[in-house]
């Protein structure tokens, strides 16, 4: 949950801007080429409902260190000595005064990559003021002698060197400047001195009327699956050979490969495909809409494997044809008992035609049922109840279920983040090519979209994507997070 201080700290101090504040995130809107304001990535519906938007105009006044000493001395005292000495003689001290004017937002267009919004003044909207002080250490460069990365490198080194300094980790940051006059960079120490609480969106839990109840908290697709099991062969084969004196035990012996293969296909779905795309929420699996195309693609490939399995089974039963993978695998056992016992028996008693029809009608691929059922946790359903006690009970159950779903999603995303960072660390800067960075970018953006779909704060991950333009910076940033297990825990915790 954001605090007013965090909002002011993250507000642009140098130019006018429009910001959208949700319970967990801040989004920045910039003017689009074809009208409207663009937000990237799009704001999830679950956050947009409770969002509050402001036009922000900062005013920067120069000041001396003495002018801001009362506000900033405590923070300077808590900095490591090496860092404190640098800020005791800053390039500049500033007092920043912000004016927030509340505006109404309207969604003009939205897709998976961006959202186009329109804004207009909100009648009787809030007009708020906030303040911050800032110390600057500037490194001026030129085209010939650029200093655009100097500040970033220094701050990164400080933060790696002093991981336990809360002031350093939270309030010190760097920016690069590239323009006509030169290429420089600046280190900032920014401290918020006035932050109105009214900036915060109204928490959903404080809603008093049914109209304020969130319509949908969670959206996704519930997986409904039914796959053919080994029991199908146990039931079908004795039926096919019921007039032939060969028992279930013998049938199972000659069918060993097919029994194992059927189990392998089922395990592939439940232990590989489902965990890769869906979230286990206890009562079932939910596929986020972001993962639906890739989930269906893997399901289609699995169904083709079942079709091939059925064809191989019928070829074996009718013609004694051994599947190619058995022939190619010298260690696999070929069951000749079928040829020696069943085929000879069929020929001897003239039962080939009768059995052939039963085998041809055997349906295995058609028994593969994997469906997606639209799923949502809908608060608006409580409006259908007149009894207030029933409303309260249903609302409570919905809240409990929502927490369980979000917690399951958070654990899945946590595992994905850990895996991604560990892979970057194993690769190292030398092997982190542009192609590898592009693949990591796509993966990271997918994780962010999945997190936001479930209302999980993805801002810590978005800060990582900001470094993706440079493979070296991205590698260092991820390694910085991985440098100590406590840092990784902090990253994951900040997403809750």
Tens place of pLDDT per residue across the chain (496 aa): 678 899 999 999 988 889 999 877 889 988 876 677 888 888 887 777 778 899 999 999 998 888 888 888 889 999 999 999 999 888 889 999 999 999 988 888 887 788 888 888 888 889 999 999 999 999 988 877 888 889 999 999 999 999 889 999 999 999 887 654 557 899 999 999 999 988 887 654 443 333 344 444 566 788 888 888 766 666 566 555 544 444 444 444 445 677 778 888 999 998 999 988 888 877 788 888 778 888 999 999 999 999 998 888 888 777 767 777 766 665 555 455 555 666 666 566 555 666 677 777 778 888 899 988 887 766 565 556 556 666 666 667 667 777 777 777 777 877 887 787 777 777 666 666 777 777 777 787 778 777 777 767 666 666 666 655 566 666 666 665 554 444 444 554 554 4
Residues 6 or more apart whose Cβ sits within 8 Å of residue 475:
424, 427, 428, 429, 432
CA distance readout (Å), 339 to 276, 314, 317: 41, 14, 9
Rounded to an integer, what distance in angstroms lies between the CA atom of residue 401 and that of residue 276? 22
Q: Is the pTM of this model over 0.85?
A: no
**How many Å separate Cα 225 from the centre of its chain?**
24
Rounded to an integer, what distance in angstroms lies between the CA atom of residue 12 and that of residue 31? 15
Alpha helical stretches, state H, 103-179? 150-161, 166-171
């Amino acid at each position: 949950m954001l605090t007013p201080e965090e909002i002011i700290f993250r507000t642009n101090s140098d130019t006018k801007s429009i910001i959208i504040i949700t319970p967990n995130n801040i989004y920045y809107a910039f003017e689009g080429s074809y009208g409207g304001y663009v937000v990237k990535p799009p704001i999830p519906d679950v956050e947009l409902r409770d969002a509050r938007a402001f036009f922000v105009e900062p005013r920067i006044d120069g000041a001396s260190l003495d002018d801001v000493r009362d506000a900033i001395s405590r923070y300077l005292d808590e900095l490591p000595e090496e860092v404190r000495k640098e800020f005791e003689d800053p390039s500049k001290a500033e007092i920043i005064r912000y004016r927030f004017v509340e505006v109404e937002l309207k969604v003009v267009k939205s897709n998976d990559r961006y959202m186009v919004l329109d804004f207009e003044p909100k009648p009787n909207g809030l007009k708020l003021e906030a303040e911050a002080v800032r110390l600057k250490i500037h490194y001026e460069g030129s085209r010939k002698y650029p200093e655009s990365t100097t500040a970033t490198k220094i701050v990164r080194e400080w933060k790696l060197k002093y991981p336990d300094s809360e002031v350093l980790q939270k309030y010190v940051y760097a920016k690069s400047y590239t323009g006509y006059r030169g290429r420089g960079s600046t280190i900032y120490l920014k401290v918020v001195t006035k932050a109105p609480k009214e900036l915060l969106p109204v928490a959903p839990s404080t809603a008093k009327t049914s109209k304020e109840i969130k319509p949908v908290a969670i959206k996704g697709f519930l997986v409904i699956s039914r796959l053919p099991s080994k029991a199908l062969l146990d039931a079908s084969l004795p039926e096919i050979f019921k007039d032939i004196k060969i028992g279930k035990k013998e049938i199972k012996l000659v069918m060993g490969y097919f029994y194992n293969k059927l189990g392998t296909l089922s395990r592939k779905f439940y232990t590989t495909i489902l965990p890769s795309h869906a979230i286990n929420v206890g009562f079932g699996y939910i596929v986020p809409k972001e993962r639906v195309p890739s989930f269906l693609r893997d399901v289609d490939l699995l169904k083709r494997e079942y079709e091939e399995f059925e064809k191989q089974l019928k070829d074996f039963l009718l013609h004694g044809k051994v599947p190619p993978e058995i022939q190619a695998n010298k260690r696999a056992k070929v069951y000749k008992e079928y040829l020696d016992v069943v085929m000879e028996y069929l020929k001897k008693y003239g039962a080939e035609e009768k059995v052939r029809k039963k085998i041809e009608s055997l349906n295995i691929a058609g028994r593969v049922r994997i469906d997606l059922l639209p799923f949502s946790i809908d608060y608006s359903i409580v409006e259908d109840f007149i009894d207030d006690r029933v409303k309260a009970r249903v609302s409570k159950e919905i809240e409990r279920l929502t927490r369980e779903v979000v917690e399951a999603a958070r654990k899945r995303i946590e595992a994905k983040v850990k895996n991604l960072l560990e892979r970057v660390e194993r690769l190292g800067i030398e092997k982190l090519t542009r192609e590898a960075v592009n693949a990591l970018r796509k993966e990271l953006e997918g994780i962010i979209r999945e997190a936001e779909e479930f209302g999980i704060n993805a801002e810590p991950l978005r800060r990582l994507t900001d470094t993706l333009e440079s493979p070296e910076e991205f590698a260092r940033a991820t390694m910085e997070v991985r440098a100590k297990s406590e840092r990784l825990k902090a990253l994951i915790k900040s997403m809750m």
